Amino acid sequence: MGGDRYTPITEGTTYEDIILRPDKSIPEDDGLDPFCKQKGINVGYAFSLKYTINKKRTSQHFILEYLQMRTFQGQTFNLETHKIVDKFTSLTFPNIAYRVEF
């Protein structure tokens, strides 16, 4: 299915184009279709380790999980290099759980 749709920053946008605008926003191209580009799919991996102790009337579970994802956030204008760059975010979710079942 792919990711969310977004409107790309117009090639040739300069620092002066942005700084001279009252709200410091990135100017949009009137000829460009809005939301014509699509973000990539989220890439990641998950690792899970589970230890179970079974007894006559209960079960105990010790769970260790780790999830790592890299997502595309969109495009930004880098003020140092004066170029349009893609912005990515890396998310990490560690989880430790203990569960008792009766």
- Asked if residue 87 lies in contact with residue 73, where contact means CB atoms within 8 angstroms, the answer is yes
Predicted local confidence at residue 47, as pLDDT: 93
Residues in the chain: 102
Residue 46 in this model has a pLDDT that exceeds 60: yes
Predicted local confidence at residue 49, as pLDDT: 96
Strand runs labelled E in the chain: 5-6, 37-38, 43-54, 59-78, 83-101
Residue 41 in this model has a pLDDT that exceeds 90: no
Cα Rg, the chain, nearest whole Å: 23
